[in-house]
Amino acid sequence: MLMLGEDHNGRIRASSSMPRTKKLRIHGCSKIPDLNAEPCLDWEEEEEEEREATQALSLPQDADYVLNVPQLVPELEVEILARVPRFEYWKLLFINKPFSRLLKSGEIFKVRRERRLVEPSVFMLSIGDTRWTMFDKDFENFHKLPELPSDSCFLQRDKESLCAGTHLIVIGKEDEGIALWRYELETSKWFKGPAMITPRILFASATCGTVVFVAGGMKIDENGTVEVVNRAEKYDSETKTWTLLRGMHKRRKFCSGCYLSGKFYVLGGRDENEQNLTCGERYDEGTDSWEIIPDILKDMSFSSSPPLIAVVGDDLYSLETSANDLRVYNANARAWKKLGDVPVRAKSSGGWGVAFKSLGDRLLVIGASAGPSRAETMSVYTCRPPADGKEELRWEESKRCCDVELNHFILNCCVMIA
């Protein structure tokens, strides 16, 4: 049993009934490390930095305070740390080398998944920003990711973003072709690859735990020839590999995806002849087969952007940009029901620049506020859609939003559950 108390000098000490203890000295630290300080982009320098930190701690200095910390078996350490709020993990990197290695091993995140301790985080890139921002689920904490070390072509062009496990995947076009970059939460660093089997842009995607499914999109060869594809594949963040899946019935680009009731859904988009598609398709991984869903979007208006869809529980929701309202799909009636207005100006931009995602048991929408202020900074709203669809739709604004001011035009947004 671990107990904390003050000695006669006013220092904090920890005592334990366990006979085996280890003394940890934390030497004079002038300031707490900044959560938003940019991490090193060169991962080859990491070991050298750790060696320098270890040498610094071994110098004879006066300790600010002393802790008698009992040694814990590694399994127990992981179980304890898995229950620490994830936005506190950055602090572990500054405790000591073993804690840093434990975090980077990914074992903590594996236990979090097994114990169902995962929590959502929102990754976002707005226009004019060069670095991604990560927010916690309540938008009370944030962290600036290191700059993505790609070329100017990649940074300035449109990109696709998706999450699998602890990986943020960003795909776009570099000077030499379509490239994939991944940000790993364990190390807070960017890595290039692995490339898709069929590199493409403007595709549909949906996350299921540690894997993400992709389908459709536009393939661009070395000569600049564009091909609309029906190809599908999935990425496994634990093995960092792509696996080829059976292709869809139809070629489609500008489509959207979601994971619903154990299946990967792809909705809308345009075919190789630039015709709008009202049908959807759903993929069953068990049988490696696709099923056409006829006219699922027949009552929806079409805009230049992909459909804005999200899943909460077992329900499929859509942000109808032409009317700026929220709708839910009734699978039995094969019809969409209007639930109420959405508090952002999705209509003015044809759906572009607006983020519409599921955030646990809530819906999340980010964009330019539809209120009287019409500020040019982003507004963040969430709501728990009524179970029966009969109650009034109530959106809650995240007014603090970590005191971060980002442009209201959201280029990319995705949610990571880890």
Confidence (pLDDT) at 373: 59
Domains and CATH numbers, the chain: 68-118 (no CATH), 120-143+307-409 (no CATH), 149-298 (2.120.10.80)
Confidence (pLDDT) at 405: 76
Confidence (pLDDT) at 16: 39
Cα 364 versus chain centre, distance: 13
Task: Tell me the whole-structure pTM to 2 decimals.
Answer: 0.81
Confidence (pLDDT) at 68: 53
Confidence (pLDDT) at 388: 66
How confident is the chain (418 residues) per 10-residue block, as mean pLDDT? 41 39 37 40 46 45 45 80 86 73 88 94 94 94 94 92 97 94 95 97 97 97 92 97 98 97 97 96 98 93 90 95 92 92 87 94 92 73 82 86 81 96
Confidence (pLDDT) at 7: 44
Helix axes 74-81, 97-104, angle to 10 degrees: 70
Backbone φ/ψ region at 165: left (φ over 0), alpha (ψ -120 to 50), beta: left
The tokens for 265 are 């859904």
The tokens for 374 are 């019409």
Distance, CA of 204 to CA of 215 (rounded, Å): 5
Confidence (pLDDT) at 299: 83
Confidence (pLDDT) at 52: 53
Confidence (pLDDT) at 372: 66
CB 173 within 8 A of CB 153: yes
